[in-house]
Amino acid sequence: MRPGEYLALQWKDVDHISGAVAVRRALAQSAEGSWKFEEPKTARSRRSIPLPPSVIKALHSHRRRQAVEILAAGPGYTNHDLVFAAENGSPLAIRNLVRRHFKPILKAAGLPSSFRLYDLRHSCATLLLSAGENPKIVAERLGHASVTMTLDVYSHVLPDMQRAATEKLEAMLFGGRPV
């Protein structure tokens, strides 16, 4: 998801039974800190994304912790039903999210501090394409307007896919085994 999409994610968008989230809106934040919900970037950005069971489990735990925090905050909490909310219930500011949470996670993981939130999206697409996932499926997951856009953006992954395809063709046509 794009950062604006997951920051706008509400609990009503999380289907715990099917294990998917629905992208229905994006969060727009001004430089002054005001925010509003808006339509996602493109029509195809409105989508359902299946999540791995471990992520659904983590969301369950997060919701329990958040419920405790909401009770502790009392009337100072304005509930916008956000999955990722600030202590007062408002959306998280990206600057704060990066500084307080993301940068420490990068450091603990030994990753460069130049890694951006948006790079998580790129990493997901690159990993899926490298694993041989159908580009159409990756495009749908990313909410791209077309598979052409996905292939243009992630063309750096294609040379390895071309080699793998050549090896498969060799095996199918000439009985050789993939190298």
The answer, as to whether pTM is greater than 0.85, is no
- Report CA-CA distances (Å) from 35 to 28, 53, 87, 113: 6, 31, 16, 27
Mean pLDDT throughout 154-168? 78
Q: How many helices (H) and strands (E) does the chain have?
A: 8, 5
Residue-wise pLDDT tens digits, 89-110? 999 988 889 999 999 999 999 9
- pLDDT range class, residue 168, cuts 50, 70, 90: confident
Residue-wise pLDDT tens digits, 53-76? 999 999 999 999 999 999 999 999
Delineate the domains of the chain, giving CATH numbers in brackets. 1-111 (1.10.443.10), 116-179 (no CATH)
pLDDT the model gives residue 132: 84
Q: 15 vs 159, which has greater pLDDT? A: 15
pLDDT the model gives residue 36: 93
The interaxial angle of helices 117-130 and 135-142, nearest 10 deg, is: 160
How far apart are alpha carbons 73 and 105 in whole angstroms? Answer: 26
